[in-house]
Homo-oligomer: A and B are copies of this chain.
Amino acid sequence: VESDFVEWLLAGLACDDRLEVPAGDDAAVVRPPAGRRTVVTVDMLMEGVDFLLLPSPTGCSPEAVGRKALGVNLSDLAAMAATPEVAVVAVALPRHHGSEIARGLHAGIATMAAEHGVALAGGDTNAWDGPLVVSITALGSVSPGRAWRRDGARPGDLIVATGAFGGSLLGRHLAVEPRCREALHIADHHTVHAAIDVSDGLSLDLARLMDASKTAAIVDLDRVPLHPDARRASDLDGRSPLDHALADGEDFELLLAMPAAAARELVAVAGRPPLTLPLTVIAEVVDGRGLLARDSEGGVHPLPARGYLHHFDP
C-alpha cells in the first residue's frame, strides 16, 4: 500500500523528458534546462491549521487539498517569474481512510500539475494516527539574474496588483489559481523591479516587499480591488470589505513593483489575452519604511501590516 500514492503520482509521467530517472528509485533524476537557474520552494499544509476535511461542516475534499498544496508552491514560483518544472510530494496520511484520502489528494495534485506543465517526480508516503500533512517541493527554472526578487523596489515605482482581494475563506482559499502564466508573460514583456505573492495578507505581504526593498509604500485605499467575496464576508461579520481585502490573505495574487511608465503600460493591456485578469495600480513606492494609506479625502496615515502569522509559545 505504501507505494501506491507515489505510483499514482508517477502514473503516465514516466515519459516526461525532463526526468531521466522518474520513478521507484531512491530519488528522481531531473534534466535541468540548459543555462537556467533552478528555483526551489516548499510549502507544508496541515489539517486543522490550513484546511479541514469533510465531513467537517467547513471541510473540503482531499482533491481540494491536493490542488491547493501544489497551487501555493506554484504561486511562489510565479512570484519569482519562474517556469514550473518538477514537484515532489511528502505526505503523512491518517491511517483511517488513508487510501481514500491518498486517492483524492493525488487527483488534485495531478490535475493542478497537468494545468501548469509540472512533472511529478516522486515523493514519500507515510501513515500515522495524526492529521493529514502534505509537504510539496516545487522546482522551477529561470534565466540567470532574471528571477523577480523582493528587494528591488525603488522610490517612484508603482505597485500593480493582479486580481482582487478579500474574503478568500469563503472558498477561494482552496481554489488557488497560481498566476504562473501571467507572471511569465509579464516578465517577458515588461520591467518588474520586485514581486511577491499574497499568501498571508495584502498589507502584510506588501510590507514584506517594502521591508526587503528598504522602501515604503502609500496605498490608495480607494483603488484596492475588492473581491465580491470581500463584500460577502463583510455582510457576514460587519468588518468592511476593504478591511477583508487588506488582511484576509490567501488571495494568491501578485504584487509587482514596476517603474511608473511600465506599470501604466501593463495596466493598459489588462483584459487582453493572456492577461485576462484585472491589473490595478494600488500603491506608489516612496522613500522611507513601512506602509502608509491614502484615503478618499487624500489624507495620508500609517497603515498597519495585517495578515496571517504562525505563532508558537516561547
A-side interface residues toward B, CB under 8 Å? 1-2, 20-21, 24-32, 36-44, 46, 48-49, 75-77, 79-80, 82, 86, 88-99, 121-131, 133, 135, 137, 139-140, 142, 144-145, 147, 149-151, 196-197, 212, 309-314
Contacts and interface: CB of A to CB of B under 8 A. Distances in A.
Nearest to A73: B27
A124 to B, nearest CB: 5
Contacts of A129: 48
Nearest to A98: B312
B130 A80 contact: no
B42 A310 contact: no
26 contacts: A2-B309, A2-B310, A20-B37, A20-B145, A24-B150, A24-B212, A27-B76, A27-B77, A27-B80, A28-B39, A28-B40, A30-B38, A30-B39, A31-B38, A38-B38, A40-B137, A44-B92, A46-B126, A46-B128, A46-B133, A48-B130, A97-B313, A98-B313, A99-B314, A125-B310, A130-B130
B26 A37 contact: no
A29 B312 contact: no
Contacts of A82: 27
B90 A42 contact: yes
Contacts of A42: 88-90, 122-124, 135, 137
Contact of A25 (B28, B95, B149): B149
A31 B35 CA distance: 9
A10 to B, nearest CB: 13
B28 A92 contact: no
Given A26-B196, A80-B27, A43 B313 contact: no
